[in-house]
Amino acid sequence: MSEDRAPTPDDRRQSQAGQEGMEPSTDRSGAPDPAVRETPLHAQHLALGARMAPFGGWDMPIDYGSIVEEHRATRAAAGLFDLSHMGEFHVTGPGALQLIDQLITNDASPLPLGKGLYSPMCRDDGTIVDDVIVYHLPGAAHAHYLIVVNAANIDRDWAWVRGVQEDAGLSLGSVLENRSDETALVAIQGPRAEAILQSLTDEPLASLGYFCIVQTVVAGLPVSIARTGYTGEDGFELFVSAAQAINLWTPLLTAGAEQGLRPVGLGARDTLRLEARLPLYGNDISDRTTPLEAGLGRFVKLDKPDFRGRKALEQQQQAGLTRKLTGLAMDDRSVPRPHYPVVSTDGSELGEVTSGTFSPTIGRGIALAYLPVSHTTLGTPVQVVIRGQRHPATVVKTPFYRRAK
């Protein structure tokens, strides 16, 4: 790894742009785009000076002044994220577990009350509809599961889930509710997240395990706390009524003010998750990729009863993969971006970058790309084509960053 350095002017310009394709959510007159939705915390983001842009149909904060500073604050102290654009589907009834296991590639059958898991959700051809988190919620008289889906996929996922329910003959045995509009989601991430959140609740957070969820009270509000996140740090995601979102957000900001807590936008959320090699739907995984190609095979349980995509994934596993999602680190000061071509040292086309950025933590450009299996061995030299120029890179082990235990 090269030594840490300050971002170059080019880094800053690209970093401030956030993810590829993000543009401010206003027309040339400066009027808001009526097609773009707002989270319940939209006014708070504006009051904090956030730079807003559309993402997944929502007007979201990209940063509050500096993507790099927000990234480093999350790694060193804590960051506060508005994730209220995410979707929440509830599944209840005696057929709830059967439907969940039809939908996801992971196995929910041993999932105890108060526990969650990550899983791809696949089509019959093995490609990915979405990647989701499923929680087995405590405190209900009957089986009750929560599926958290990606913001841009809410409508499509809802149609898919209902279609699978009908195809599986579970319309009478399971009840589906889309509570996305009435639910807000706030995340607090970083090494000081537990201490900050603990000051607002009597729930013993030190005993809350990873991917566990508990229904409790935070700042006087009924909240579900899940110990998970999308940054590579310890932290929590808090589900609250959309009407009470501001009454959760404000006390968290106040409680963390003296401990270095900062509000964090989607720009730093993207750099944080990429350092931790957490895939982004639409970039690293999509309806053109399978979980096995994406390195998510540990979340595909081919030994469980039938699920959507199982036959195709079994066939792909037996035939062997032809490409894999692979980590790259740049060998010079260049910064890779999505869709930049990746070529071999002789110039032969290999693939393209799916996600790429300057890593504030390790001080160099990093990327993910689908490459032929022949070019995925650690240490393999490749090149990334940036504005017509080939820049050297090396296949490296991922995640690029792993927090100290």
pLDDT in tens, 316-367: 999 999 999 999 999 999 999 999 999 999 999 999 999 999 999 999 999 9
Domains of the chain: 9-85+182-275 (3.30.1360.120), 87-178 (3.30.70.1400), 322-405 (2.40.30.110)
pLDDT at site 121? 98
pLDDT band at 404 (very low <50, low <70, confident <90, very high): confident
What is the tens place of the pLDDT at every residue in 56-97?
Answer: 899 999 999 999 999 999 999 999 999 999 999 999 999 999
Residue 263 pLDDT greater than 50, yes or no? yes
pLDDT at site 226? 98
pLDDT at site 34? 60
Q: 3-state secondary structure string, the chain?
A: CCCCCCCCHHHHHHHHCCCCCCCCCECCCCCECCCCEECCCHHHHHHCCCEEEEECCEEEEEECCCHHHHHHHHHHCEEEEECCCCEEEEEECCCHHHHHHHHECCCCCCCCCCEEEEEEEECCCCCEEEEEEEEECCCCCCCEEEEEECHHHHHHHHHHHHHHHHHCCCCCCCEEEECCCCEEEEEEECCCHHHHHHCCCCCCHHHCCCCEEEEEEECCEEEEEECCCCCCCCEEEEEEEHHHHHHHHHHHHHHHHHHCEEECCHHHHHHHHHHCCCCCECCCECCCCCCCCCCCHHHCCCCCCCCCCHHHHHHHHHHCCCEEEEEEEECCCCCCCCCCEEECCCCCEEEEEEEEEEECCCCEEEEEEEEEHHHCCCCCEEEEEECCEEEEEEEECCCCCCCCC
> Model pTM?
0.92
Residue 386 pLDDT greater than 90, yes or no? yes
Q: How far apart are CA 318 and CA 292, in angstroms?
A: 11
What is the tens place of the pLDDT at every residue in 139-159?
Answer: 777 799 999 999 999 999 999
What is the tens place of the pLDDT at every residue in 206-229?
Answer: 999 999 999 999 999 999 999 999
What is the tens place of the pLDDT at every residue in 89-130?
Answer: 999 999 999 999 999 999 999 999 999 999 999 999 999 999
Residue 169 pLDDT greater than 60, yes or no? yes
- Average per-residue pLDDT for the chain: 92
What is the tens place of the pLDDT at every residue in 293-308?
Answer: 999 999 999 999 899 9
pLDDT at site 266? 98
pLDDT at site 142? 79
pLDDT at site 33? 59
Token pair 């996140």: residue:
229
Residue 29 pLDDT greater than 80, yes or no? no
pLDDT band at 9 (very low <50, low <70, confident <90, very high): very low
